[in-house]
Chains A and B, each alone.
Chain A
């Protein structure tokens, strides 16, 4: 089968609509980190511990970013900013991988990480403008009772492999499989990602962005001033942020 390069298909500034997308309302986010915990539980993310965290090797697929405005006496905190893989339409991580381990899913329009192909060059993480990829620097231990909570639907990654947010692709497949077995299409809101499910303030909403009737599309229309981070780089991100609404 010949490999078809489709670089010319996506042009900067052209209206791009992905498949799966997310809207994050920063005004609702309380910074409670429930999404961070839920993501780690769902996706078998290792706990790196204090020492490695100190070296900047902490592993999270989603993190809460905090920023401050102003100088010392009048310091003001800006709204919390949950940062996860933006599932870019034209991702900067993809073309740099020498092993084709980070590839674009044509079927689901997601950025995939194929763990068994990854050789650990970490080039993708260096090229990601959002800094959302994490690398397995070691085989981190899971003491006995913890191994029982591993999600069987997700690969347990080994040392030397890059990993990233998948938009809970295992849940996407599960919902698609269930819908297909019942002979119907996947309904909007039928399933959601672990972070969106755990969010107590409903700041995160997940769904189909190519469907104008889905909740994500409606929220984007209602707010009307969504921001896509670092859009000027031409990455065509699929996560929209709302702030100051």
Chain B
């Protein structure tokens, strides 16, 4: 039975079947990988580049980055502070979710994009205080609409910068490459 099957595989029809199977598996894998590389769907297609073009600083909407561990995603009240004075807000279909959210009082369910695993404890404040700019990790937002990651936040990415910043300072290197600095 199995021998007959292998014999059939060597015939033209069998070879075509093998080829189609491989192609299907390959395209499925490629599709899966491409899915994991796309930024997640957001309730509003928030255009970062337009807001930055108006001269709004990162810390205006994400003030937590300078004060504590989490940068935070602004509440609708903050969006509404500017947007209720803009006529386009009332008419635009793209901004309808924001208008609905403010009227009904239900918060927008933003999807976090830049994330680290649970076993990593990240603190924005220390990085901002050390003179790092947002774009060093998050990329140039003036070219992005919906936030996306310019790189994967893995340990190599963190340590590359940590060792570079420490340089010849041995005490700082010990502190910045200590496991307990990020993992606890």
Chain A residues close to B by CB (< 8 Å): 1, 103, 105-108, 110, 112, 114-116, 153-156, 166, 169-170, 173, 177, 180-181
> Residue B178 contacts which of A108, A115, A177, A181 (CB distance < 8 angstroms)?
A108
Which of B118, B119, B175, B184 lies at the interface centre, i.e. has the most chain A CB atoms within 10 A of its CB?
B184
B178–A107 CB distance below 8 A = yes
Chain B: interface residue count, which band?
A: 10 to 19
A112–B184 CB distance below 8 A = yes
B180–A180 CB distance below 8 A = no
Q: Sorted from nearest, which 8 A-B pairs have the closest CB atoms?
A: A107-B178, A105-B180, A155-B119, A107-B175, A116-B119, A169-B184, A112-B180, A106-B174
DSSP class of A's interface residues: helix, strand, loop or mixed? loop
A170 to B119, alpha carbons, bound, how many Å? 12
A105 to B178, alpha carbons, bound, how many Å? 6
Known: A114-B183, A170-B184, A180-B129. 13 other contacts (CB 8 A): A1-B163, A107-B175, A107-B178, A108-B180, A112-B180, A114-B179, A115-B183, A155-B183, A169-B184, A177-B123, A177-B125, A180-B126, A181-B129
B119–A106 CB distance below 8 A = no
Q: B118 contacts which chain A residues (CB < 8 A)?
A: 155-156
A154 to B184, alpha carbons, bound, how many Å? 6
A177 to B182, alpha carbons, bound, how many Å? 13
A166–B175 CB distance below 8 A = no
A116 to B174, alpha carbons, bound, how many Å? 20
B179–A103 CB distance below 8 A = yes
B181 within 8 A of A: yes
A107–B119 CB distance below 8 A = no
A181 to B177, alpha carbons, bound, how many Å? 21
A153 to B123, alpha carbons, bound, how many Å? 10
Interface residues of B in 128-184 (CB under 8 A from A): 129, 163, 174-175, 177-181, 183-184
Q: B123 contacts which chain A residues (CB < 8 A)?
A: 173, 177
A142 to B118, alpha carbons, bound, how many Å? 17
B178–A106 CB distance below 8 A = yes
B184–A166 CB distance below 8 A = yes
Q: B121 contacts which chain A residues (CB < 8 A)?
A: 153, 155, 170, 173
> Residue B184 contacts which of A1, A103, A155, A180 (CB distance < 8 angstroms)?
A155
Q: A173 contacts which chain B residues (CB < 8 A)?
A: 121, 123, 181, 184
Interface residues of B in 92-124 (CB under 8 A from A): 117-119, 121, 123
A219 to B75, alpha carbons, bound, how many Å? 49
A112–B183 CB distance below 8 A = yes
